[in-house]
Homo-oligomer: A and B are copies of this chain.
Amino acid sequence: MRLVIARCSVDYAGRLTAHLPEAVRLIMVKADGCVAIHADGGAYKPLNWMNAPNRLVEGDGEWTVVNPKGEQLTITLHEVLSDSSHEMGVDPGLSKDGVEAHLQELLAANTGTLAEGLSLVRREYPTDIGPVDLMCRDADGRLVAIEVKRRGEIDGVEQLTRYLTLLRSDPAMADVQGMFVAQVIKPQARTLAATRGITCVEVDYDELRGIESNELRLF
């Protein structure tokens, strides 16, 4: 990784055009070629950047970075205050726990917590417009399409509605029901779901994990 501290101005022309007036900033060039220009504040997002793959040309006081799509980043260096490189090697990568996929796994294994007698048909049930998180059958044998979110907002209800509309266009699934599951469901999402006949269920991630580990302990 190369780190350059420089008084510079920057222009980007691509999906939009953007300009940065002259100031001291950090220019970060990573091993994969991606370039990011950071100010000394403002969260983790750089002011300007160019992702890999790209081509970096170091000219006389001016760097030009172009990518295959024709987007271009021009860095004009007025004064270089520091320029250093560091070997880092390949990063072993980040492991995460607690994202939607885990919630979905836990629910798939514990459909009974969502409704009495609910049983799993399959996870990631495929449709032409994307996968339904969980396809289940209720105690009466009716299909239930379930959308799982960490946070239940309007977008999720829209998504489930699209699936339901598509599924119901198949006569064999004309009576498929909808269920919206999240750790917290916002009132607006709940209201929209209600107008569309979609059942809302809030679940507790830690509680589910508890059930899971209890079962593991028993068997």
Contact = CB atoms under 8 A, between A and B. Distances in A.
Contacts of A88: 5, 23-26, 39-40
A186 interface: no
Interface stretch (A42-50, A107-115, A136-144): A42-50
A17 interface: yes
A41 interface: yes
A1 to B, nearest CB: 4
> What bracket does the count of chain A residues touching chain B fall in?
35 or more
Contacts of A52: 41, 43
* Copies held by the complex: 2
Interface stretch (A63-71, A90-98, A116-124): A90-98
Contact of A95 (B19, B36, B96): B19
Given A32-B41, A51-B43, A82-B86, A17 B91 contact: no
A59 to B, nearest CB: 23
A91 B31 contact: no
Contact of A98 (B16, B28, B43, B45): B16
A171 interface: no
A217 interface: no
A92 B31 CA distance: 29
A46 B82 CA distance: 22
Given A1-B5, A39-B88, 11 more contacts: A18-B97, A20-B91, A20-B92, A23-B89, A32-B41, A34-B43, A36-B44, A39-B91, A41-B91, A42-B91, A44-B45
25 contacts: A1-B40, A3-B26, A5-B88, A16-B99, A17-B96, A18-B96, A19-B95, A20-B92, A22-B92, A23-B89, A24-B86, A24-B87, A24-B89, A28-B38, A30-B39, A30-B42, A34-B41, A36-B44, A39-B88, A39-B91, A44-B45, A48-B94, A81-B86, A129-B188, A158-B162
